[in-house]
Structure 1
Amino acid sequence: MSDPLVTDTPQNQQHLQNLKGPQNQQHPQVQQNPHDRQDPNTLIAEVAVIGGGAGGLAASIVLARSLRSVVVIDAGSPRNAPSAHAHNVLGQEGINPLELVAKGRREAEEYGVRFVDATVVSAEHTQQVTQESEAVGFILETSFGVSIEAKRVVIATGLTDVLPDIPGLSDGWGETVIHCPYCHGYEVRGERIGVIGTTAMSYHQAMLFSQLSDRVTFIRHDAPEPDEAQTRMLESLGITYVDAAVEAVVRTDSGTDVTLRSHTSSAAPRGNEAGATAENETMTVGALAVGPYFRANSEIYEQLGGTVADHPSGMGSSIPAEATGATDVPGVWAVGNSADISAMVVASATSGVLVGAQINAEFIMSSVPS
């Protein structure tokens, strides 16, 4: 899929409406700032945050609490919208992801953060950037016709989960089709779980899910054939191995039907449980685990001269950033899944807090004569 999926449930649709605000306005609601020009279509801020998920909101709140002027540009389509619940969020366990973001947005607004309900369609430097000068600046053009001028930019656009091109697979994404044992594994504990191989890391994924169920089947699909160590791991953990590709996935009242096509006509499963043994057979599971390609939403970063990096595992791409969140592009910072494909909600928020503090400190230090 090219874009994150959003489930069409009344609860999630209401949360999305709350995020996007009133829709009958010529321009999004934005709080005017003394630094803004008379032009209502141009906002001026010290920091522009692109993306209003956990990382972007956390950065904006830290900056606003340090009395910095901040504008957040967000279209209200967070990556985890397909999921009904967010887990491992201390004090907010099981909260709907859209509700969590809506609460964070209200908190940011209380500190004076301004929001533009739109996407950023283009970005450019407004001042020449040199290694000898910190006088950087940016202008962002949005899909709503509002321009933002800022001294610093925080990229909090996250990533897109690109699923294998298997008919029906995306229908259960975030519910019966999952990828993270820590985010959703508890909810499918004890069920028959099928792990669809996409890369060599899929064997590691199967290993983790074996802690949650003794009925795990590894379907090789596009993953390389197991080496000796991987074969030993599958056998010792009782994980069934099926050397087949997934042809289609269909959700039913009794589970999820997976149609398989054997890689070899004589292929047979290895492990502790019978599975599909012949060509074009179907197996039924309670949940499917699959490793998507985690593609960084890096278009704006690249417009500003940045280059994304492939993850060493081959599982995705990200914006290279230092531990502080600073990128190779002066004045541009990255938080959350934009810079770390493994970051969960709390980790993304943590990176936002760190980046907000670093930017504030940088502003202060730049005002001190050398």
Structure 2
Amino acid sequence: MAYDVIIIGGSYAGLSAGLPLARARRKVLVIDAGQRRNRFAAASHGFLTQDGVPPAEIAAEGRAQLMEYGSVDWVSAEAVKAEREADGFYITDRSGKQYSARVLILATGIVDVLPDIPGVTELWGSSVFHCPYCHGYELQRGRIGVLATSPLSMHQALMLPDWGTTTLLLNEAFEPDEEQLAQLGARGVALERTPVTRLEGDPLEVLLEDNRTLSFAGLFLAPGMRLPDLVSQLNCETEEGPLGLFIKTDPMKATSVPGLFACGDAARAAGSVPLAVGDGAMAGVAAHRALMFGY
């Protein structure tokens, strides 16, 4: 079946993109692999009217509301191949089934690339975080650690004293220069240079190479970002952000490929639920305009 629009990714950006298209009575297909980026977090924060609600509940309610519109179909599958032809886009899922549409929206999200330290993956989203606006308040001004992954970790270290007493664990990722040391000192950030060997427990404990243990209410780090293979298959332009590549778009979320739009964490240098929802709404409206008036 041919659709007006295919949306790859059924999380917050994709759901939001689908809504204006559904309300315009366009035929929409959402292809979703069920791998929300924030699936490890117990609660989502900072989203107006949904503050503190479990992320899965927000996504489930969004899907239920979108599927009330009869012109929307949903496929729970992983899209593994994307091609652009003269008449539109052709998407193939892992089972080999193919779908086509005049316009395509990428709302795929990104894959977080975490440091190879025992305990980081297991504690990701519960006591190890990346966004202080999403998780800092709940730490109740307790002791906070920042695990450096690159010089960009300076930004986190300078922000986090607003949420609690902060220690920057350099972990041999970089060494602050004199100016940076002065900035850290002005914000009251302590430094720990001994490398980290592992993370454990609840409450969180950071084990160091010299056998010392530091306890924190929470630990923040800046993960690397990896885009899905579909982006390179479609040959759309990307940009280098602070943590990795993201899809380059114009203010209306159009990519360098005619008829292809991108939104959410894959298409901006910073991400959160409210930002993803706003991004998706813009992409959905822009996709509808492309259907009406061309690329």
Match of 1:333 in 2: 261
- Residue 362 (structure 1) shift: 2.0
- Residue 366 (structure 1) shift: 3.2
Tell me the percent identity. 36
1:308 aligns with 2:238: yes
User: Comparing 329-338 with 215-224, which one deviates more in the overlay?
Assistant: 215-224
- Residue 206 (structure 1) shift: 1.3
Q: Residues 159-204 of structure 1, C-alpha deviation per residue, up to 9 Å, x if partnerless?
A: 1111100011111111111111100000113211111111222111
Structure 1 residues 257 and 89, CA gap change in structure 2 (3 angstroms): same
Equivalent AA in structure 1 for residue 233 of structure 2: Q
Contact 2:172/2:193 (<8 A) preserved: no
- Residue 353 (structure 1) shift: 0.9
Q: Distance in 2 between matches of 1:142 and 1:239?
A: 48
Contact 2:255/2:261 (<8 A) preserved: yes
* Structure-1-length-normalised TM-score: 0.76
* Structure-2-length-normalised TM-score: 0.95
Q: Once superposed, what is the RMSD of the aligned Cα atoms? A: 1.6
- Residue 121 (structure 1) shift: 1.4
- Residue 286 (structure 1) shift: 2.0
Counterpart among 169, 177, 181 of residue 231 in structure 1: 181
Match of 1:79 in 2: 37
Q: Distance in 1 between matches of 2:254 and 2:294?
A: 16
Contact 1:337/1:343 (<8 A) preserved: yes
Match of 2:194 in 1: 244
Contact 1:55/1:349 (<8 A) preserved: yes
Q: Distance in 2 between matches of 1:66 and 1:161?
A: 34
1:210 aligns with 2:168: no
Counterpart among 179, 202, 207 of residue 259 in structure 1: 207
Q: Distance in 1 between matches of 2:265 and 2:231?
A: 14
Q: Distance in 2 between matches of 1:234 and 1:161?
A: 27
1:142 aligns with 2:93: yes
Match of 2:23 in 1: 65
Q: Distance in 2 between matches of 1:123 and 1:366?
A: 21
Q: Distance in 2 between matches of 1:144 and 1:74?
A: 13
Match of 1:92 in 2: 50
Match of 1:191 in 2: 142
Q: Distance in 1 between matches of 2:190 and 2:132?
A: 18
Contact 1:123/1:138 (<8 A) preserved: yes
Contact 1:199/1:222 (<8 A) preserved: no
1:163 aligns with 2:114: yes
Q: Distance in 2 between matches of 1:175 and 1:307?
A: 34
- Residue 100 (structure 1) shift: 0.7
Equivalent AA in structure 2 for residue 97 of structure 1: P
- Residue 126 (structure 1) shift: 3.1
Structure 2: gaps of 5 or more residues = none
Q: 4+ residue runs of structure 1 moved beyond 4 angstroms?
A: none
User: Comparing 172-181 with 300-309, which one deviates more in the overlay?
Assistant: 300-309
Equivalent AA in structure 1 for residue 75 of structure 2: V
1:176 aligns with 2:127: yes
Structure 1: gaps of 5 or more residues = 1-42, 128-135, 262-278
Equivalent AA in structure 2 for residue 363 of structure 1: L
- Residue 145 (structure 1) shift: 4.1
Match of 2:12 in 1: 54
Q: Distance in 2 between matches of 1:189 and 1:178?
A: 15
Contact 2:168/2:189 (<8 A) preserved: yes
Number of aligned positions between the proteins: 294
Please state whether the residue corresponding to 2:141 is helix, strand or coil: coil
- Residue 106 (structure 1) shift: 0.9
Q: Residues 239-268 of structure 1, C-alpha deviation per residue, up to 9 Å, x if partnerless?
A: 11111221111114xx2221223xxxxxxx
The higher relative CO (CA closer than 8 Å, separation ≥ 6) is in 2
